[in-house]
Amino acid sequence: MKLPAIVHKFSSPKNFYTMSGKMIPWFVWGFALTLIAGLYYGLIEAPADYQQGESYRIMFVHVPAAWMSMFIYIIMAVSGGVGLIWRIKTAHLMASVSAPIGAAFTLIALVTGSLWGKPMWGTWWVWDARLTSELILLFLYLGFIALQASIEDPRNAARAGAVLAIVGVVNIPIIHYSVEWWSTLHQGATVTKIDKPSIHISMLIPLLLMALSFKLYYAASVLMRARGEILRREQNSRWVKEIVDNER
């Protein structure tokens, strides 16, 4: 099976470095604009919830962060699979540089979830199916980072991390469907329902803006991290030396 042409272009560290450098400013500006709009509509324009009052507004950070925690792990698993099958170094690189970002989003989701849960449930933490599986996801991220750091050979570290990411991806559907499979305090889906979202449009728009903002932030930050790692790994390459000489 052949990979798309764009993947082949990005498989070259030099092409990846050049193309990502052109993309990053667009992602940064998109992130800034959507973040400002999302915070404005979420914190100012959106009305207070009839049950939760003003405390529900933490949703505009918590929910997108939780979505990103799963989304990034899937990216890691797919990148790891591509790296294992087609031996593309930049695919393994994307998985490696994505892990700290995904771990940060997972931690944000857990912390904001606890802050939201305290006034709603009367406690900071319960061993709820959704919360527990999200905590396991954080451990998977940290395990991925620790595993790669513990292996000196970069190729073996990349392969080991890819296997862990692929095996751990089974936790993603558990997180997503946990509120349907088990009795849980966590509320069910409100945005991704098949018929229509059970959330008012005035709350849905800022929620989606924040979700888009977080994705653009991830795109910008992961490419910046990848570019720095490429320069480190390819520091003895001729093209890297030319870039360093031109920037002096």
Higher pLDDT: 184 or 84? It is: 84
Residue 121 scores a pLDDT above 90: no
pLDDT digits (tens, 9 = 90+) for 148-167: 999 999 999 999 999 999 99
Of 111, 72, 63, nearest to 94 by C-alpha is 72
pLDDT category at 76 given cuts 50, 70, 90 is very high
Question: What is the predicted pLDDT for the residue at 90?
Answer: 94
Question: What is the predicted pLDDT for the residue at 1?
Answer: 57
The sign one gets for the Cα dihedral 52, 60, 192, 142 is negative
Letter string b/e over residues 133-171, b meaning 16 or more CB atoms within 10 A of that residue's CB: bbbbbbebbebbbebbeeeeeeeebbbbbbebbbebbeb
pLDDT digits (tens, 9 = 90+) for 62-75: 999 999 999 999 99
Amino acid at 18: T
Of 101, 104, 108, nearest to 221 by C-alpha is 101
E-strand ranges in the chain read none
Question: What is the predicted pLDDT for the residue at 243?
Answer: 85
Domain boundaries, the chain: 33-240
Mean pLDDT, rounded, for 133-142:
97
